[in-house]
Amino acid sequence: MEVVVEAFEPALLPSRIQMAFTLASHVLLVPLGVALPSLTLLMEGIGLARKDSVALKIARRWSVVMAVQFAVGAVTGTILSFEFGILWPRMMGRFGSAFGLGFAIEGWAFFLEAIFIGIYLYGWNRLRPRTHFLVGLVLPPAGLVGAFGVLASNAWMNTPAGVTIVEGKVTDVDVMAALFTRALGYEFWHFVIAIYLTAGFVVASVYAVAWLRGRRDHYQRLAFAVPFTVAAVLTPVQLLVGDLAARAMAEDQPPKFAAMEITWQTRD
C-alpha cells in the first residue's frame, strides 16, 4: 500500500493546481450565467408593465450576453466534469454513488436551461410578449436547481452524511440525507446571494462608466438602477449569511476555516 501511495504522490499537487485553476476560471462565469436571466426577466417585466420600449431593449441586449455566458460556462463546466474522473478516479469510484446524484441534477437542469434559452432568444418578436416572458420564467429556477446540484455534491464532500461504509466501501446510500447535508444550507444561500450580488454590481458598473462619461439618458439610468438596486439590497443580507456560514465552517471544518483566515498556527 505504501508503494502505491508514493507512486501517486507526485501527481497530487499538479492535480490540485489544475483543479483549482479550472474551478477559478469557471466560477468567474457563474454569477452572470445564473443571475443574469433573473435580471433580464426583471427588466423585461418592467418593460411590459410600464409599456417601456427602452426597458425591453435593455432586456433583449442582456439576453444575448446571457446566452454567451451560458455557452462559455458550459465549456468550462464540461472540463470540470471530466476532471473529477480523471484527476480523482479513486474518490469518484468509491464515493461517486454518494454525491454523484448532485451532478446528475445539475446535468438535467443544464439541458432544461439550454432548451429554454434557445426558445427565449428565438422568441423575441416571434412570440407574444406575455408568452415570451412566461417562457423566460423557466430560466432562473433552472439555474438555481443546477447550482443546488453542484453545491449539494460539494457540501457532501465537506460534511459527509447518508452513507454506510463497510470495510472502506459504500454499501448503502440514503439519497435525501446525502443530498441535504449540514453544509448545504449555509453553502447554498451564501452562494446564491453572492452570485446575484456580484452580477448586479458587475452589470451596473458597465452603465456607471457611461454615467461618468456624461451619458445619463433614460436608457443608462434604468440599466444602472435595476441591477444596482438588486445588489445593494442583497449586500447587508450577505453580511449576515456570510457570518453564519463562517461560524458553521469553523465548527464543522476548523482546518479549512483556519486556511481561509490565513492562520497557519492554531491553538485549542
The percent of residues above 90 in pLDDT, for the chain, comes to 60
User: Average pLDDT in the 4-24 region?
Assistant: 77
DSSP 62-81: HHHHHHHHHHHHHHHHHHHH
Please give the pLDDT value at position 5: 45
Please give the pLDDT value at position 268: 61
Going from the C-alpha of 115 to that of each of 31, 118, 138, the distances in angstroms are: 20, 5, 10
Q: Taking 50 as the threshold, does the pLDDT of residue 243 lie above it?
A: yes
Burial of 53 (0-12, 13-18, 19+ CB in 10 A): exposed
Neighbours of 55 (CB within 10 A): 23
pLDDT in tens, 25-46: 888 889 999 999 999 999 999 9
Q: Residue 266: which pLDDT band, with cuts at 50, 70 and 90?
A: confident
Alpha-carbon Rg for the chain in angstroms: 21
**Largest CA-CA distance found in the chain, in angstroms, rounded:** 71
Strand partners, 164: 172
Please give the pLDDT value at position 9: 64
Q: Residue 203: which pLDDT band, with cuts at 50, 70 and 90?
A: very high
Task: Tell me the pLDDT of the chain averaged across its residues.
Answer: 90
C-alpha span between 154 and 110 (Å, rounded): 17
Residue pair 169/143 in contact (Cβ under 8 Å)? The answer is no
3-state SS assignment for residue 52: coil
C-alpha span between 165 and 191 (Å, rounded): 30
C-alpha span between 235 and 252 (Å, rounded): 25
Q: Which cell numbers hold the place of 189?
A: 444561500
C-alpha span between 39 and 233 (Å, rounded): 14
Q: Taking 80 as the threshold, does the pLDDT of residue 11 lie above it?
A: no
DSSP 155-175: HHHHS--SEEEETTEEEEE-H
**For the chain, what are the domain ranges?**
2-260
User: Average pLDDT in the 236-240 region?
Assistant: 96
pTM of the model: 0.89
Long-range contacts of 71-79 (CB under 8 A, 24+ apart): 72/29, 73/26, 73/29, 73/30, 73/33, 74/110, 74/114, 76/22, 76/25, 76/26, 76/29, 77/26, 77/110, 79/22, 79/26
